[in-house]
């Protein structure tokens, strides 16, 4: 759950960075709406961490700062690229959540319900970005995103 919490910190920052540099109010509104939903996810993960007597990642300030910068950078290439970044991010988050759901013990119904609700919202964010005109990102950018996410999730698990 710590990894999911760190991911929600990063998602909020990413969307806030993108919204700051968005060129159209329509794109900005879409990003801010997604960020608001990520706030719900963050609260769910925080509560579940407390229930599990665990703690958030010690690197959350780093996740936020880095993701905010990446979001602003993605948006600097234009709204279609920024929306493409959202679509690809959410596609990768969906894969992560699927893997996490597969690894969860069957009896952990509370965590499972949280992750399933998050997954549905993430899928909606991705489809909304695609419907709003998201550009398909180049393969090397998508691979770099996957690699970066693996570093973050692996580090957040332990720290």
Residue holding tokens 């069957």?
106
Tell me the mean pLDDT in the region 106-133. Answer: 92
Tell me the mean pLDDT in the region 97-104. Answer: 91
Do the beta carbons of residue 150 and residue 7 sit within 8 Å?
A: no
Separation CA 28–CA 74 (nearest Å): 13
Cβ atoms within 10 Å of 2's Cβ, excluding its own: 21
Separation CA 27–CA 133 (nearest Å): 10
Q: What are 14-66's pLDDT values in tens digits?
A: 999 999 999 999 999 999 999 988 888 989 999 999 999 999 999 999 999 99
2-158 folds as Ferritin (1.20.1260)
Q: In Å, what is the CA distance from 155 to each residue of 37, 86, 90, 108, 128? A: 25, 22, 20, 23, 30
The structure tokens listed for 121 are 């919202």
Is residue 159 scored above 90 in pLDDT? no
Provide the pLDDT for residue 137.
92
What are the boundaries of each domain within the chain?
2-158
What is the pLDDT of the chain when averaged over all its residues? 91
């Amino acid at each position: 759950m710590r990894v999911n919490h760190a991911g929600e910190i990063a998602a909020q920052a990413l969307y806030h960075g993108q919204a700051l540099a968005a060129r159209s109010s329509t794109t900005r509104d879409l990003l801010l709406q997604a960020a608001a939903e990520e706030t719900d996810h963050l609260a769910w993960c925080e509560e579940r961490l407390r229930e599990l007597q665990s703690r958030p990642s010690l690197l959350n300030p780093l996740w936020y700062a880095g993701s905010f910068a990446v979001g602003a950078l993605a948006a600097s290439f234009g709204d279609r690229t920024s929306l493409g970044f959202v679509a690809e991010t959410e596609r990768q988050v969906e894969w992560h959540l699927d893997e996490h759901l597969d690894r969860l013990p069957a009896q952990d119904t509370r965590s499972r319900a949280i992750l399933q609700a998050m997954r549905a919202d993430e899928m909606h964010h991705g489809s909304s970005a695609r419907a709003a005109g998201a550009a398909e990102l180049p393969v090397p950018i998508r691979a770099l995103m996957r690699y970066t996410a693996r570093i973050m999730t692996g580090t957040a698990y332990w720290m």
